[in-house]
Structure 1
Amino acid sequence: MSEQNLEQLATELKKATDGVKAMGEELEGRLGKGEKSLDSLKEQVDEALLAMGDVKSRLDEAEQKLARRGASDTQSGKSLGQQLVESEQFKAFAQDPRSGRSARLDIKATITSATADAAGSAGALVPEQRLPGIIAPPDMRLTIRDLLAKGTTSSNSITYIKETGFTNSAGYQKKEGDKKAQSDLKFGEETVGVKTIAHFMKASRQILDDADMLQSYISGRLFFGLKLFEEKQLLNGTGSNGELNGILTQATTFADPAKLTEYTIIDQLRLALLQAIIAEYPPNGFILNPIDWAKIELQKDGQGRHIIGNPQSLAQPTLWGLSVVQTQAMTAGQFLTGAFNLGAQIFDRQASSIAVSTENEDDFIKNLVTILCEERLALAVYRPEAFIKGSLTAKAATVGG
């Protein structure tokens, strides 16, 4: 029941009271003239009184419903019907409707878009505009997996043999019959386990039935969250507590092979390339935090010109002829370079997948649905010396050196 309906009922009540008043005046006038046969008019007055009582009952019921919703129709906190019924004019009229008196209620309110508990507040009638779908936060770009060699496995572990030592004694045979030089090789066995990365969400069957796109949205967010965690693990996994043994954990620490007295961070990255090249593993890329790459691109020469490219360039980020991968999985101020395609490999045991189930007894009883995202993989870092890591730090020449 709205305020408009209350006003209509109040208007009906006023019409009914006006009608009773008119008939009461007519009855009083005819009695004054000494007319005797007035039974028909008295019946009409009685019917009008009954009709007025019916309108008043409907108005009272409407006011109670509106009160239960916490609504109010006037600035004083009283409904229109309440004000009419409680007015002195109505009380006098109700005592003797045939007396010729009448009851009147003036309604004065400016209708506005306000939603306050006051007369004229019609803001609740204006529906809100609701945009479809869900506005998702931006996803971080995932890149590290694309740098690594790919593989699959049907086992729960990867075992490989790698060379751990080489004694090169190659040389001349001094003269015929002399013993030739003997070289040695040393091998070691390495095993890496397949790790499981997974997470899930629960939702009621009702909301999944009623919101068509919700299940696909949840699946997409679960998949992205899984890959985001994988990206960080490929770099930073510790190898303990079920984690992957990440590349940064095993990489070789930067040590300037050229022993320069000074260098910039751009020079430092070139020296890291040199260190990997000396280990016979030509690097195929850099991994940097986006903040550090921005600092490098903004470096200028003595004339204010950008050293790396120019602001209008559309070329992909490159440095010293190698691709630069920007990821927030790399801590700002750190770098990694190396032969990602030769020195390490990902083995997928179970590709990333989504499963939906209600098989859990408790879920079945509660009408819940479990949406699970899971993958199983192993990371083999064949040659730690193929990867060079370090802190981005320029080196200044020693004063007086």
Structure 2
Amino acid sequence: MPTLQQMRDERVTLLQDATKVVDGAKTARRELTPTEQQQVTDLLAKVDKIDSQIKGKALADSVMRLGSAEDDPDHPNHGGHLFAERDAKELVTAVKSRSSYRAEVNVKAALTNTVLPTSGQGVEAGLYPNAFPLSTLFRSQEAPGPSIRYYRLGDATAGVVAEGGTKPDSSVTIQPVDLVLTKIATTVRFSDEFAEDAGFLLDYLERELTAAVVTKENAEVLATFNATSGVLTGTGAAGTVIDLLADAIAGQEALNGSSPSAVVVNPTVLATIRKAKASTGGDYFVDPLSGTVTTLHGVRVVSTPATAAGTAWVVNGAGVVIYRKGGITAEIGTNADDWITNSRTMRVEERFATAVVRPSMLTKVTLT
């Protein structure tokens, strides 16, 4: 197995190769060709894989070094980071002394202005391998306390007024809404022997628990959408899903004056979109050999099993605010009889709430 330094050197080389491709297009003052886009995507995928390998090997090395000279945080070979670089020293201390450990987990997806992942593709390495966090589609704000009051505004109208004429009322509605933060949490118990014999798996436990929290968060976000009055709706046959979504996108653009941010679909709906053909036995509308992210009518598609079967949501990021009290936290400590059974408990949790400030920026499309 290559050393950490060899893996880091390979990572640098891959990033340099990707940069050369992008710089070449910039120099020529053009967009990346499909071949170049695929080349950059493949290189970055290799970088993500190496990052995961580095993280696992560094943690395994740190467990093997416990109690040795290299266990000193100032030692040049010191490493092993379960959650973040700054937490390395605390992790080693916690494992040795059986004390509590707490860290913030970064849950932001690695998004750009032009790429939106589907089902975890392109999401930050090491986190939620099977769950794309829908919350990253919307604005995020820090919650001031355990509850929030926000205001839901209706549409305003205006008219032409002659000199000296009476100005019309805007007819805008203002509805206060009180929202209580929701806590999502999960735990796992592991033995000291597990930590000693397979310490590298602690990292995977943290990833799995984080994935579970994000998956439940997705379900809560969509449950809030379903419970909100004033959301736009559309219904039609599954075979016409592409046309139905075109109408939903156009409806939002006509009503709100801006294009939606994403189309959120159940994986079965995405499969229907991918298999759609111009005619029986004709060409696919979506190129099945393309490595690019699926889009419909210029709007990106996100697939998540949190969406009900036969359902698609057309969403505008400006219509929803995600309130959080801190981020997702991961903690290791003792619980109940952990001390006398040589066990530890890992806990991952968060507090958040979904505020739909503009219901008309959400459209629920139901397929029959």
SS at match of 1:332: coil
User: Where does residue 230 of structure 1 map in the other structure?
Assistant: 217
SS at match of 1:366: coil
Fraction of identical pairs, as percent: 26
User: CA shift at 1:144, angstroms?
Assistant: 1.6
Q: In 2, Cα distance between the equivalents of 1:217 and 1:169?
A: 56
Q: In 1, Cα distance between the equivalents of 2:329 and 2:250?
A: 41
User: Where does residue 318 of structure 2 map in the other structure?
Assistant: 342
User: Where does residue 142 of structure 1 map in the other structure?
Assistant: 132
User: Where does residue 195 of structure 1 map in the other structure?
Assistant: 182
Q: In 2, Cα distance between the equivalents of 1:376 and 1:163?
A: 25
* Larger Rg over CA atoms: 1
Matches within 5 A, 1:1-400: 139-164=129-154, 166=156, 168=157, 170-173=159-162, 179-236=166-223, 246-250=224-228, 252-255=231-234, 264-280=240-256, 282-302=259-279, 304-339=281-316, 341-358=317-334, 360=335, 362-393=337-368
Q: Contact (CA 8 Å) 2:266, 2:304: kept in 1 or not? A: yes
User: CA shift at 1:143, angstroms?
Assistant: 4.2
Question: What TM-score do the two structures reach when normalised by structure 1?
Answer: 0.53
User: CA shift at 1:388, angstroms?
Assistant: 0.7
- The 1:389–1:361 alpha-carbon spacing in structure 2 relative to 1, beyond 3 Å, is closer
Q: Contact (CA 8 Å) 1:254, 1:389: kept in 2 or not? A: yes
Q: In 1, Cα distance between the equivalents of 2:288 and 2:332?
A: 48
User: CA shift at 1:200, angstroms?
Assistant: 0.9
Question: What TM-score do the two structures reach when normalised by structure 2?
Answer: 0.57
Q: In 1, Cα distance between the equivalents of 2:172 and 2:194?
A: 64
- The 1:212–1:316 alpha-carbon spacing in structure 2 relative to 1, beyond 3 Å, is closer
- The 1:180–1:391 alpha-carbon spacing in structure 2 relative to 1, beyond 3 Å, is closer
**Count of residues in Structure 1 that have an aligned counterpart in Structure 2:** 239
User: CA shift at 1:334, angstroms?
Assistant: 0.9
Unpaired segments of 5 or more residues in structure 2?
1-127
Give the structure, 1 or 2, with the largest relative contact order (CA under 8 Å, sep 6 or more): 2
CA RMSD, 1 decimal: 3.0
User: CA shift at 1:182, angstroms?
Assistant: 4.5
Deviations 1:197-237 (A, max 9, x none): 1111222334323432243332222122111211222213x
Q: Contact (CA 8 Å) 1:149, 1:342: kept in 2 or not? A: yes
User: CA shift at 1:183, angstroms?
Assistant: 4.2
- The 1:190–1:306 alpha-carbon spacing in structure 2 relative to 1, beyond 3 Å, is same
- The 1:194–1:177 alpha-carbon spacing in structure 2 relative to 1, beyond 3 Å, is closer
Q: Contact (CA 8 Å) 1:143, 1:325: kept in 2 or not? A: no
Q: Contact (CA 8 Å) 1:165, 1:187: kept in 2 or not? A: no
Q: In 1, Cα distance between the equivalents of 2:323 and 2:164?
A: 51
SS at match of 2:161: coil
User: Where does residue 17 of structure 2 map in the other structure?
Assistant: none
User: CA shift at 1:385, angstroms?
Assistant: 1.8
- The 1:368–1:385 alpha-carbon spacing in structure 2 relative to 1, beyond 3 Å, is same
User: CA shift at 1:193, angstroms?
Assistant: 1.6
